[in-house]
Structure formats: structure tokens, C-alpha cells
């Protein structure tokens, strides 16, 4: 997971993405990779980051066949269960796509207008 976070941060900084967006996507990739590790029997988990003219996008693909990930509200005494709620709060949009051999989860954060068209 640390490797996925570091690669995400490195790529976004290389593309000169705003530090607040880099931090949001660092947290998002951490949560999505953690969910894939904890909730699937995947041997391979792939995380990618990309940037369009309007948003930065993290995609995590796993081999899990456990249905659509759903954000839930964790009780105060629970130590876990807030990951997708955090993703939902940080991302402009997020969702999942079932694949023949797994699940792909994508989360995007909108780029500020001054960034659009620079990349």
C-alpha cells in the first residue's frame, strides 16, 4: 500500500498538481488499496493514477468478486468502516465496475480551473 501511495504522490507532483489534491488522492488510493487487500482474496491489486484536463483520477483494480463496494456509516466505537465514507467525502465522484475477474473502483478529484488546459 505504501508503494501505491508513493507512486501516486510522485506522479501527481511530477504533473504539478496542487498539494491539496495530491493529499486527497494519497488518502483515496490508500483507502481503496486497503479495501481491496482486506475485503478480497486478490493476489494482484493494481493502482493507477491519471490526469485529464478537468480531474485527477485513481483507479484500483482487484480480483475480488464480492459485489459493489458501498460506503457505510461506522459507529463511534468501531475502529474500521470509514474508508469509503472518506473516499466519498474527498472525491468529486467515485464508483465501481464489476469485471469478469474482479472489481475496478475509480475515484476522481476535480482540478481547479487554472489547471484545466495546462496538462
CATH number of domain containing 24:
3.30.565.10
Does residue 117 lie within any of the structural domains? no
Please give the C-alpha separations between residue 38 and each of 9, 32, 43, 49, 110, in angstroms, as whole numbers.
23, 10, 12, 21, 28
Does residue 83 lie within any of the structural domains? yes
Does residue 115 lie within any of the structural domains? no
Does residue 47 lie within any of the structural domains? yes
- Tell me the average pLDDT across 9-16: 87
Total of domains in the chain: 1
Does residue 118 lie within any of the structural domains? no
Does residue 116 lie within any of the structural domains? no
Say if residue 69's pLDDT is above 70. no
Of 56-60, 63-67, 93-97, least confident by mean pLDDT is 63-67
* Domain ranges, residue 31: 2-110
Top-confidence residue, 38 or 94: 94
Amino acid at each position: 500500500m505504501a508503494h501505491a501511495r508513493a507512486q501516486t504522490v510522485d506522479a501527481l507532483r511530477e504533473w504539478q498538481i496542487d498539494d491539496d489534491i495530491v493529499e486527497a488522492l494519497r488518502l483515496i488510493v490508500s483507502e481503496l488499496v486497503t479495501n481491496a487487500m482486506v475485503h478480497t482474496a486478490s493476489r494482484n491489486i493494481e493502482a493507477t493514477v491519471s490526469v485529464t484536463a478537468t480531474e485527477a483520477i485513481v483507479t484500483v483494480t482487484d480480483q475480488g468478486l464480492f459485489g459493489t463496494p458501498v460506503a457505510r456509516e461506522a459507529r463511534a466505537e468501531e475502529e474500521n468502516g470509514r474508508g469509503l465514507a472518506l473516499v466519498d467525502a474527498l472525491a468529486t465522484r467515485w464508483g465501481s465496475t464489476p469485471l469478469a475477474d474482479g472489481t475496478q473502483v475509480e475515484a476522481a478529484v476535480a482540478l481547479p480551473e487554472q489547471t484545466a488546459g495546462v496538462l
